[in-house]
Amino acid sequence: MEERLQKYLASCGVASRRACEELIKAGRVKVNGKTVTELGTKVQIGVDKVSVDGKEVSQEEDYVYLMLNKPEGYVTTASDPQGRPTVFDLITDIPQRLFSIGRLDVDTEGLLLLTNDGELAYRLTHPKFSVSKVYHALVTGKPSEDKLNRLRNGVQLDDGPTKPCKVKVLRRFNHKTLLEITISEGRNRQVRRMCQAINNPIIHLERVKIENVELKDVKRGHYRKLTIEELLPLMNKVQLGANLAKMMLEEEN
Ligand code: URA
């Protein structure tokens, strides 16, 4: 069977498909000993020998899907030039090399999905699938209904207007308000910039849900594997449900 190189690398758990494209462009990938920088290159699965940074990759690894309750102060990248702790420092007993599905800012807490399934990571972060993410945002002041409607309808950010989203007031305090904001985009620091745009900057931000997957039964700084009941609707959302059914059958046999 033939596969495009970046898709094959992602299916080997190297990184998400987009990150694999960068590895190829950076000249870090070889096919049968020759460096390949062309993105569309096809490889014959099981025939061609593919390596990244000199290390051969293959599709044999078991897939892992985790939810982590990210604490403040941890970065979502594999390493940090400033030496801050990374979310991967919290993962202690998983032998597979994982990457995060999307990112949370260093000062954001809550639900982060981690996997070695590059195809799932690629699809869950692709705008075409409009994956919903729910945030609890504690903002300064008491945003008026008019301002909340501006958030709902879309505010102008320096990289363009935001798409319509859901905003609910969960609780009003004296000088702060707890909002529930559901977005289906994933732009850099989006929720913070949206709240800044209505002049109610964020004091604390936590992600509590991605599609059907809720941050439940996991303490801050801890993680657990997703259940099949959580994984199946998530995979169906990005049209990978058939892949999961196949994996489960293979496990049974
Ligand atoms: N929006 C933000 O502003 N920060 C995050 O970490 C996630 C979404």
Residue found under tokens 């694999």? 20
Beta bridge partners of 65: 115
Identity of the residue numbered 179: L
Average pLDDT over residues 85-112: 94
Cβ 30 vs Cβ 24: under 8 Å: no
Per DSSP, 75 falls in state B
> Do residues 50 and 170 share a domain?
no
> Do residues 169 and 226 share a domain?
no
Q: Domain of 234: which CATH number?
A: 3.30.70.580
Token pair recorded at residue 115: 């996997």
> Do residues 50 and 13 share a domain?
yes
Cβ 198 vs Cβ 154: under 8 Å: no
pLDDT at 127: 93
3-17, 42-56, 57-71, 212-226: which has the highest mean pLDDT? Answer: 212-226
Q: Of ligand 1's atoms, which has the minimum distance to the CA of residue 108?
A: 6
202-216 pLDDT, tens per residue?
A: 999 999 999 999 998
> Do residues 117 and 235 share a domain?
yes
> Do residues 138 and 202 share a domain?
yes
> Do residues 6 and 121 share a domain?
no
> Do residues 118 and 180 share a domain?
no
> Do residues 161 and 180 share a domain?
yes
179 Cα: distance to centroid of ligand 1 (angstroms): 14
pLDDT at 187: 95
153-157 contacts, C-beta under 8 A, 24 or more apart: 155/194, 155/197, 155/198, 156/197, 157/187, 157/190, 157/193, 157/194, 157/197
Q: Which helix (H) or strand (E) holds 8?
A: helix 5-11
Identity of the residue numbered 247: M
pLDDT, averaged across the chain: 93
For the Cβ of 7 lying below 6 angstroms from any atom of ligand 1, the answer is: no
> Do residues 11 and 80 share a domain?
no
192 Cα: distance to centroid of ligand 1 (angstroms): 6
Q: Domain of 36: which CATH number?
A: 3.10.290.10
Q: Domain of 190: which CATH number?
A: 3.30.70.1560
Residue 253: pLDDT band (50, 70, 90) is low
> Do residues 15 and 51 share a domain?
yes
Average pLDDT over residues 162-189: 97
pTM of the model: 0.82
Pick 193 or 61 by higher pLDDT.
193
Residue 61 predicted with pLDDT over 70: no
> Do residues 118 and 222 share a domain?
yes
Which residue range(s) make up the domain with 122? 65-127+216-252
For the Cβ of 108 lying below 6 angstroms from any atom of ligand 1, the answer is: yes
> Do residues 147 and 195 share a domain?
yes
Dihedrals phi, psi of 117, to nearest 5 degrees = -95, 95
For the Cβ of 192 lying below 6 angstroms from any atom of ligand 1, the answer is: yes
109 Cα: distance to centroid of ligand 1 (angstroms): 9
Could you give the number of structural domains in the chain?
Answer: 3
Residue 13 predicted with pLDDT over 90: no
Residue 246 predicted with pLDDT over 80: no
